[in-house]
Structure 1
């Protein structure tokens, strides 16, 4: 693996730029947005190279909490050198590093550093349409990838190289096989439909189309991709996420990224994640009969990722590991139970009211007045609980103080 120019200043400028542009975008989008009720509770993992999504493809999703952050390092076992490598240590492990930030429930921006060809590319996404509860339409987003100086990157991000001279000088170069790739920038559109999957699960399906990295084969034909493409530029995928405890989850992923079939699983505990994946599953083993670039393309590869997700505002206040999601889900469950109890109480009071109205009691008027007051009190408490539940499902932060206990007076 070659020495990496990590571009720390560029990472910082990406975060500052995203934070500075958030108020302007919020002014353009003054209409309130409502998060899907369950799917957003289990956050999407980061892709291998470009922020949140599945394994390689993006999804139409932005975190419901502004300031959320994903930092991911990933590695793919691939002998990227078509000939003998100039740098000969760890040359079979292609690593990438990415940082992704989400803002205002509407857009994301990030930076990916391609470590084996020490270059970089920005990426981002805007959520144009957000899925609403009980509605049929999906979320829709548009985005870009590989916005940077490297115009010849391909899907493995090894389209730019370096040459080390006998005197030790380093020069950027493009391998001959990559000269016809034109992937800067890569743009795409994607739709994602979220579903509930039991009391602790979430599922989704995504379908999209893109240019550049999703479409361009660099005039290599089957040397670049022997099989796996459905339609050039078309990508699709699905996920199933299961919350295994208040602070942990497991996500199963499958996709076609326009070129290959990929699958993987990601475990997450309080924002710390580990993912393992198989890519190019349709290709099988490495074979010289698959073209002169058979050491790079057209065989199944093993991938691994290590990641961290948190919230910039929480980190600034000393909270490093996520725990809020589990706490909010627990509060939602308590509110739902409270709503059921209060609804049952209202039904009982209304039944008593009807009985009092039909009886020949001397104090019918007084009894009716008392029951009306109790019904209104229960209805007000029910509305407060429903408002709080809707607030949690909409991504708003919980109140800083504990709500006062109910003062409901039982009927006498």
Structure 2
């Protein structure tokens, strides 16, 4: 395939909004090979290993743990890389700044609920005996993760798991029975950084205590601290190692190079948000108004715009096939909808990827119809909630 066909550079915003990023077109086998190599480099010889979600909440936990183990990386190379991204004349030609940075004694392996078992298997395979292992901001979909957790507890000195998602009671019991110290916070009161902060019971500096508070403001969609949007955007656009290192050094008071970088990236971000909002349609499903749209965009801002237009819930379907479901005070069942279509999450924030893609023709249909099949499947999940409620009443 011609690289130009999947390169975002020079592509119109309308087309960029409708198509996935270049990484989508790489085979899973190559992604797995790269993920395995990076995980092995992070895990081997580490004093502690953290398996974390790659969002602001999960990575804030990594910053706390590296502080506790006195294992933070030098921030200077990352700040230099930021300056180079803003001024191409300073670029040294290295596309991956993480490749040239040292490894922390607290290794980081990012994962999602779908890749959690594979990440834990890598820890069990590559970690030194007696290592400390932490799992942060990840809730397994089912008990299939227990076998991998067993293998890790056999290898590690301690395994501690911090989270704030809605766990199935049986899965939580099985994970604890495997020897894991599992702490689950209240999902509508704490983010996982809060859970880690209180569970680690350490004397953390003020800027990291503040980091947990601002992360909560974003993760629970409180929206009272303007710095929380900066953290969310930076975690999305930066590499995991860069984000952990910078917020570990500065907390939520991000330095000038990061602020300049965010301002530069937000120009296109706002245009992608506008495109997604313009495509949105409102559907009445029982007592709820559901706003549905499609595109590469920042789902939280799009959901907020749809709520302002009268939606109780918002569904943002992405070109890569996944979807974000956002609720409101009038709809706190997003996780129930997602659970029906291969996903999960919180009452007001959940994600899923419906199993409707058998081959690339299905994806081609997905892009050219702006996700019609996925939209129908998710709207049907909303309708099933009404049917289930009626059955329960009977």
- TM-score computed with the length of structure 1 as normaliser: 0.26
- TM-score computed with the length of structure 2 as normaliser: 0.27
| Structure ranking higher in helix proportion | 2
Larger Rg, first or second structure (1 or 2): 1
| Structure ranking higher in strand proportion | 1
